[in-house]
């Protein structure tokens, strides 16, 4: 079961990155330090984290030789989506 919990905990980083990029965009707009570079950087970083997580989920599913990898692959893919 540690295969599932380890992969799930690491994949939850994608949600943390998405929340951080959203919050930093909003806060920087409020305090007036939001520039053109950050307007594209923060969303790109959030989407990159999601895309990497989706591909990692597909990789776990394609190598699912045990039930642990099968479950972990579905959860990681769901987190990425």
Per the structure, the complete domain to which residue 31 belongs is given by 2-80
Q: Is the pLDDT of residue 63 over 90?
A: no
Instruction: Identify the band that residue 68 occupies on the pLDDT scale cut at 50, 70 and 90.
Output: confident
**If you search the block for the tokens 């799930």, which residue do you land on?**
8
Give the angle subtended at the CA of 8 by the CAs of 17 and 60, to the nearest 5°. Answer: 105
- Largest Cα span, the chain: 51
Number of domains composing the chain? 1
Q: Is the pLDDT of residue 38 over 80?
A: yes
Q: Is the pLDDT of residue 6 over 70?
A: yes
pLDDT in the model for residue 1 = 59
Q: What average pLDDT is seen over the chain?
A: 90
């Amino acid at each position: 079961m540690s295969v599932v919990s380890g992969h799930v905990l690491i994949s939850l980083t994608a949600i943390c990155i998405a929340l951080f990029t959203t919050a930093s965009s909003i806060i920087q707009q409020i305090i007036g330090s939001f520039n053109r570079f950050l307007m594209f950087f923060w969303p790109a970083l959030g989407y990159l984290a999601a895309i990497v997580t989706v591909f990692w989920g597909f990789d776990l599913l394609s190598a699912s030789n045990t039930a642990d990898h099968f479950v972990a692959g579905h959860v990681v893919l769901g987190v990425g989506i």
